[in-house]
Amino acid sequence: MSEAHNEHESLIKTPKQLIAAVIAGFLVPIVIIVLLVNYVGNNALTGAGSSAMTEKAVAERIAPVATVEVKDANAPRVYQTGEQLYKAVCAACHAAGTAGAPKVGSADWAPRIAQGYDEMLKIALAGKGAMPARGGTSPDDVTDYEIGRAIVYMANASGGKLQEPAEPAQPASGAAAAAPASGADAGSAAAAAAAMASLKTAAPAAAGAGGNLEAGKKLYDTVCMACHASGVMNAPKFGDKAAWAPRIATGIDTLHNAAIKGLNAMPPKGGAANASDDDVKAAVDYMVSAAK
Ligand code: HEC
Ligand code: HEC
């Protein structure tokens, strides 16, 4: 009697119910799994309306690894103060005296200050021992003038009484390429900017008889040098025969074309969009003649 009673308590009493229970036993976990997968994978949806296909997201994903920024040479330059550059760059070593760097605020500076500002600037620009040239910055980003200001900031925070270096003359849109040259080293970046500016207006006329080494050298000195002098981004270095030989072997027309149209990290015309094709070709000829 009691056993029969137990049987009656079972929820599955008919074959129909058994089938329903078996199907539910399969379906419920599957539905849960599908919901979970959907929930976890939600962010990866790439359909319309998801952020994955927005213009910005796509642009970021397909952006080239290295980008070349060609600055507008006519825009007035805003210089960092000595304190700003110190905090952004030099403090990495000079705040705590890392790697034997003279520590700001300490007596380490006395003998350096004693040798004079010019000597300190020379060493900071060229590097010495564990001190990287320009504190590791590129002359494209940080001018000699700003390095000088950072030195004055550090020296004066360490007992010195140095004068701020004079600000280099701003390039007067296209006019005086030679002006900042008076500041010698202090204005080399500004001089390049001024030369770029004058190039924009003067270059097409300078082509003269259609490309000669003189015009080529001029364009090289003002534009191409930025990368080709030191081999920035693996640009073949000026005068480096081994780097140029395989390129020269492809023929002068190939080189002219590559320089005008650009090649990988090499921007078209080296970024000097207003230079004439003849001048760019002349610059190539000049570079090739130096590597033969
Ligand atoms: C990676 C570390 C490091 C960074 C970054 C660095 N320095 Fe130095 N600096 C040194 C070391 C090390 C010395 C000492 C070199 C020596 O005398 O052998 C030094 C020395 C100097 C000196 C003294 C040169 C002399 O007269 O003997 C000046 C000036 C200087 N640094 C300026 C700067 C400026 C300006 C910056 C930032 C733009 C900077 N440093 C960034 C490590 C660094
Ligand atoms: C922003 C840096 C940069 C500037 C500025 C620049 N170049 Fe280049 N250049 C490169 C790089 C990087 C390469 C190597 C490209 C490669 O082979 O992938 C290169 C390669 C070349 C080549 C070899 C092309 C070949 O077919 O092998 C020539 C010629 C050349 N540059 C000429 C010039 C001239 C002329 C100028 C100035 C008007 C100039 N470059 C300015 C970065 C630059």
Whole-number Å distance between alpha carbons of 150 and 142: 11
- In the reported structure, the alpha carbon of residue 266 is separated from the centroid of ligand 2 by a whole-number distance in angstroms of 5
- Quote the pLDDT of residue 29: 85
Q: Is the CB of 219 under 6 A from ligand 2?
A: yes
What is the predicted pLDDT for the residue at 47? 55
Centre of ligand 2 to C-alpha 30, Å, is 60
pLDDT at 33: 86
Instruction: State if residue 94 touches ligand 1 by the CB under 6 angstroms criterion.
Output: yes
Ligand 1 pocket test, candidate residues 83, 109, 131, 156, most atoms within 8 A of CB: 131
Q: State if residue 113 touches ligand 1 by the CB under 6 angstroms criterion.
A: no
Measured from the CB, is residue 211 less than 6 Å from ligand 1?
Answer: no
* CA-proximal residue: ligand 2, atom 26 (nearest): 255
d(CA 200, CA 181): 19
Rounded distance between C-alpha atoms, residue 215 and residue 269, angstroms: 14
Q: What is the pLDDT of residue 206?
A: 40
Is the CB–ligand 1 distance for residue 135 below 6 Å? yes
Report the nearest atom of ligand 2 relative to the CA of 220: 37
Query: Does residue 155 have its Cβ closer than 6 Å to ligand 1?
Result: no
Residue 140 placed within a domain: yes
Identify the pLDDT of residue 48.
Answer: 56
pTM of the predicted structure, to 2 decimals? 0.41
Neighbours of 234 (CB within 10 A): 11
Q: Is residue 95 part of a domain?
A: yes
Is residue 262 in a domain?
yes
Whether ligand 1 lies within 6 angstroms of the CB of 100 is answered as yes
Q: 90: alpha, beta or left, given left = phi > 0 and alpha = psi -120 to 50? A: alpha
Index of the ligand 1 atom closest to the CA of residue 151: 35
Residue 270 lies in a domain: yes
Q: How far apart are CA 84 and CA 243, in angstroms?
A: 39
Count of CB atoms situated within 10 Å of the CB of 218: 21
Last residue of a domain, one of 157, 189, 222: 157
Domain total of the chain: 2
Tens place of pLDDT for every residue, the chain, 292 residues? Answer: 444 455 556 777 888 888 888 888 888 888 888 888 877 766 555 555 556 666 777 777 777 666 666 666 677 788 899 999 999 989 988 999 888 899 999 999 999 999 899 999 999 999 998 888 999 889 888 999 999 999 999 999 999 999 989 888 875 544 444 444 444 444 445 444 544 444 444 444 444 444 478 889 889 988 888 889 888 788 999 999 999 999 999 999 999 999 999 998 888 998 888 889 999 999 999 999 998 8
283 within domain boundaries: yes
Asked, for residue 174, whether it belongs to a domain, the answer is: no
Q: For the chain, what is the mean pLDDT?
A: 79
Look up residue 133 and give its two tokens: 């040239």
Residue 192 included in any domain: no
pLDDT given for residue 64 in this prediction: 66
Indicate the residue among 140, 157, 174 that finishes a domain.
157
Domain ranges, residue 134: 82-157
Expressed in angstroms and rounded, the spacing between residue 201 Cα and the centre of ligand 2 is 22
Rounded to a whole number of angstroms, the distance between the first and last alpha carbons of the chain is 111
8 located within any domain: no
230 touches 224 (CB < 8 A): no
Residues 6+ apart with CB under 8 A from 225: 238
Task: Encode 127-152: b = buried (16+ Cβ within 10 Å), e = exposed.
Answer: eeeebeebbebebeebbbbbbbbbbb
Ligand 2: residue whose CA is nearest its atom 29: 255
Residue where a domain stops, chosen among 135, 157, 179: 157
Q: What is the CATH number for 263?
A: 1.10.760.10
Tokens 């990866």 sit on residue? 44
Residue 283's pLDDT is: 94
Q: What is the pLDDT of residue 126?
A: 93
CA of 199 from ligand 2 middle (Å) equals: 18
